Amino acid sequence: MRDIVYLSLGSNMGDREAYLRDAIARLQPEGRVVSISSFYETEPVEFTNQPWFLNCAVALETRDTPEELMASILHIEREIGRQRIQRKGPRIIDIDILLFSDRIIDSKELTVPHPAMHQRRFVLQPLAEIAPDVLHPVLQRTVRQLLDDLPVGQRIRLFNSDHSANRRPDDHLPKTKDGTTAE
């Protein structure tokens, strides 16, 4: 039997987009990536004196047990170069299991659903893009409802890889139908 697992991925060091794409590719042996959200730039929370994150959500269909998947995720993070130096601090890659089908797991090694997911816009915004109607098995609310219930705050913006050094000074202006800038 295959389970659908929802993951949150984040990076705020180096080439954030490349690290996310690498992590997604490395998830393939664990199952089939069913869906990937857009990438979002997100303001750090809790430990705020660090660069903004790039986050996304991934739906993965897997035959792994939750414990097997967690072990694989930790291995992927290590392979990409994550070092756990500072709690909530900067990181090359972070992969969290948000939901594992409708399972509820509370062990020393793993808590599912993720205990803070319902408080984090950087988790819920990308997740709502790919799974708005998925039910949180403890709170009995959909991802969309959880997102709508969040208070104002936790700045987040859709990431466009054109935000790079190739960006022209007029890129902030709205575009007309023919692609020219409207001033």
Q: What's the pLDDT tens digit per position in 51-78?
A: 899 999 999 999 999 999 999 999 999 9
β partners of residue 56: 9
Question: Alpha-carbon distance 94 to 122, whole Å?
Answer: 13
Residue 32 has pLDDT above 80, yes or no: yes
Catalytic residues: 82, 91, 94, 96
pLDDT value of position 50: 79
Q: 78 with 36: CB under 8 angstroms?
A: no
pLDDT band at 14 (very low <50, low <70, confident <90, very high): very high
Residues 172-182 pLDDT 10s: 333 334 333 33
β pairing state of 105-106 and 111-112: antiparallel
User: Which helix H or strand E contains 11, and what residues bound it?
Assistant: strand 3-11
Q: Which residue has the higher pLDDT, 163 or 15?
A: 15
Q: What's CA 12's distance to the chain center, in Å? A: 12
Instruction: For residue 39, give the DSSP letter.
Output: P
Residues 96-110 pLDDT 10s: 999 999 999 999 989
User: Which helix H or strand E contains 41, and what residues bound it?
Assistant: strand 40-42
